[in-house]
Amino acid sequence: MAVTETRIVTKRLREHPEDSWTIDRYLATGGYEQLRRALTLPPAHIQDEQVKASGLRGRGGAGFGTGQKWSFLPKGIYPRYLAVNGDEGEPSTFKDHMLIERDPHQIVEGVVISAFAIEAHHAFIYVRGEFALGIERLEQAVADAYAKGFIGKNILGSGFDLEVIVHRGAGAYIAGDETGLLSSLEGERAMPRIKPPFPAVQGLYAQPTVVNNVETLSTVPHILRMGGEEYAKLGVGRSTGTRIFSVSGHVERPGNYEVELGMTFRQLIDELAGGVRGGKKMKFFIPGGASAPWLMPEHLDAPLDMDYVGSELKTMLGSGAIMVFDEDVNPALVAWRLLKFFAHESCGKCTPCREGSMWLERVLFRIAHGLGRPQDLDLMLSFGSTIVPGLNAPFAQTTICAMGPSTMSAVVSLDRFFREEILEMCTAGASEARRSIPVASA
């Protein structure tokens, strides 16, 4: 049987690429019907019988149960806010980009239903600033929804009020962290905050706040349509439903693929994405965005199951971005490039990430450019264990947010799979060049 996508949230945009983002198309394909229905249901029902029952887990990267996250809101404290994370900045991830650009109404409907379920009257959609077209379409969608009475006062006569604000990010990766996003929304630098207090207790403007990913909320109308329990039948184990995987790198057909969880990496990469480009062999792949530790070809038959990938493969499905590298790639160069990104995007708030990412970048630069020393890999692992104590997945952290451990993923992967290659790179024939390494007085 041929492997196929299971299109739920991408159905409309795949079937109607010419106008999937318009209100007319949205309404013509069943749009806002679930909102109409949701408004007749008790909020607690949506939260428990639908979203919690669906087993929906956050699609942003951490994979935390959405219904559970909602249930952390303290009782009786208002106002509450819904913040939508559309600051998709994880390198190689481009699924939210597509959803925002091509199906903004689906997001809006998910936002209104979710806000109704958690009794929030303000929702903020934080969109990565670079998504110019996406923001234009999303703003249009919000305006259309206001005009049609899907947002605003007394939505569809239900008595429920909701204001939706589209907020444009200013280009910081770290605004994708939920507390960083809240700081940014408040007009501060996008620096993560220490937890507790968690956003559910003290989030935006110190009020209870739920932060959900764009894809997560896009799924909510479908959960209502299908019924929570029905949705939960899709997928595998605690990884229910479908996810959009952004497959990129050295594959024949890079792109977004919405598949039922439980499919194997091999099916996704080889069959849907067409396998490694030009008939070459795969050297390694990154399974869950730039922050995830890498995997090797021998892991291809593992299932796309968040728990399995975490516990057995010591990495994560993260943001659902799979990067494939062919046999010609120098892994040290990849690691350096990733660290260059992290060192550039570290917000600078806490020491291990601020200083550690910079140090890792400098060392990897030397290694990748033939200036490595034999002790450099172990040096990185040694000071890196200040950022990730123990270096064992699931990563512990000494930093405020999860970006700290992300900086070590590449280095840990080099050690796991390419130790010999790196050591060789650091000893072979580089002695002349090594002498020219600028050594600062330390």
Partner 1 sequence: MTATNESTPRPPGVPMSQWPSTYEYVLPTGPPGAVTLTIDGREVQAKTGDLLIKVAQDHGRYIPRFCYHERMKPVGMCRMCLVEVEGMRGLQISCATVVADGMVVHTQSDAALQAQDGVLELLLINHPLDCPVCDRGGECPLQDTTLAFGPGESRFVEEKRHWEKPIPISDLVLLDRERCIQCGRCTRFADEIAGDALISFGGRGYTTEVITSPEDPFSSYFSGNTVQICPVGALTATPYRFRARPWDLSAVETSCTTCAVHCRGALESSSNRLVRLLGVDSEPVNHGWLCDKGRFGYEVVHSGERVRHPMVRRDGELVECSWPEALDAAAAGLRDAIDAGGPESVALLGGARGTNEDAYAWARFVKGVLGSDNVDAQLGDGIPAEVALGLAEATIPDLDAAAAIVVVGIDLKEELPVLFLRVKRAAEELGVPLIELASRDHGLSRYAHSSIRAVPGEQAGAARRLVAALSGGTVEDAEMAHVAELVEGRDGHVVVVLGRGDLAESPAATVQAAAELAQLSRARFLMALRRGNVRGALDLGLTPGFLPGRVSLEAGRAGFEQAWETVPKARGLDAIGILDAAKRGQVRALMLLGTDPCDDCPDHGLARDALGAVGFTIAIDAFITDSTKRADVFLPAAMWGEKLGSVSNVEGRVQRVGRKISPDGTPMPDWRIAAELALRLGADFDLELIDEVQDEIARVAPAFAGVDAALLRRARDGVVLPLASHRDELVLGPVRIPLTSASWAPIQPGAADEETHAPAQATGVVDSTGTGAAAVIEPGLSQTALPPDDPELERVQEVAASPVQPELYRWAAKVTDAAVPGRDAYALRLVTGRTLYDGGIAVAASESLAQLVPEPILLVHPHDRDRIGVADGESVRVTSSRGSVTLAVRADAAIMAGTAYLPFNLGHDGVGDLVDSAAAVTDLRVESLS
State the residues that interact with partner 1 by CB under 8 A: 172, 174, 189, 194, 202, 206, 343-352, 354-359, 362-363, 366, 379, 382-383, 385-386, 389, 396-400, 437-442
Whether residue 91 is preceded by a cis peptide bond, meaning omega within 30 degrees of 0, is: no
Q: Which of 216, 284, 251, 247 is nearest to 94 (CA)?
A: 247
Whole-angstrom Cα distance, residue 12 to residue 173?
A: 29
Residue 290's identity, in one-letter code, is A
- SS3 of residue 179 by DSSP: helix
Report, in Å, the least distance between residue 350 CB and partner 1: 5
Whole-angstrom Cα distance, residue 127 to residue 88?
A: 8
Residues in the chain: 442
Nearer to partner 1, 89 or 352 (CB): 352
Nearer to partner 1, 24 or 78 (CB): 78
Report, in Å, the least distance between residue 208 CB and partner 1: 12
Q: State the Cα torsion 12-29-132-114 to the nearest 10°.
A: -100
Report, in Å, the least distance between residue 437 CB and partner 1: 7
Report, in Å, the least distance between residue 79 CB and partner 1: 14
- How many C-beta atoms lie closer than 10 Å to residue 428's C-beta? 10
Whole-angstrom Cα distance, residue 61 to residue 84?
A: 14
Report, in Å, the least distance between residue 323 CB and partner 1: 23
Q: Please list, in sequence order, all residues whose beta carbon lies within 8 angstroms of the beta carbon of residue 307, skipping any fewer than 6 positions away.
A: 237, 238, 239
Are 225 and 32 in contact by the 8 Å Cβ rule? The answer is no
Nearer to partner 1, 311 or 351 (CB): 351
Nearer to partner 1, 158 or 375 (CB): 375
Report, in Å, the least distance between residue 142 CB and partner 1: 29
Nearer to partner 1, 157 or 390 (CB): 390
How many angstroms separate the Cα of 183 from the Cα of each of 130, 201, 216, 248, 353?
19, 15, 21, 31, 18
Report, in Å, the least distance between residue 157 CB and partner 1: 37
Mark residue 74 as left, alpha or beta (left: phi above 0; alpha: psi -120 to 50; beta: remaining). beta
Nearer to partner 1, 147 or 194 (CB): 194
By DSSP bridging, strand 235-236 and strand 209-213 are unpaired
Query: How far is C-alpha 155 from the chain's CA centre?
Result: 31
Report, in Å, the least distance between residue 90 CB and partner 1: 17
Whole-angstrom Cα distance, residue 261 to residue 270?
A: 16
Report, in Å, the least distance between residue 347 CB and partner 1: 5
Are 155 and 39 in contact by the 8 Å Cβ rule? The answer is yes
Nearer to partner 1, 231 or 359 (CB): 359
Nearer to partner 1, 2 or 442 (CB): 442
Nearer to partner 1, 4 or 392 (CB): 392
Nearer to partner 1, 28 or 194 (CB): 194
Whole-angstrom Cα distance, residue 119 to residue 71?
A: 12
Report, in Å, the least distance between residue 318 CB and partner 1: 19
Nearer to partner 1, 239 or 346 (CB): 346
Residue 385's identity, in one-letter code, is S
For the sheet containing 282-286, what is the strand order?
255-260, 242-249, 321-326, 282-286
Report, in Å, the least distance between residue 115 CB and partner 1: 22
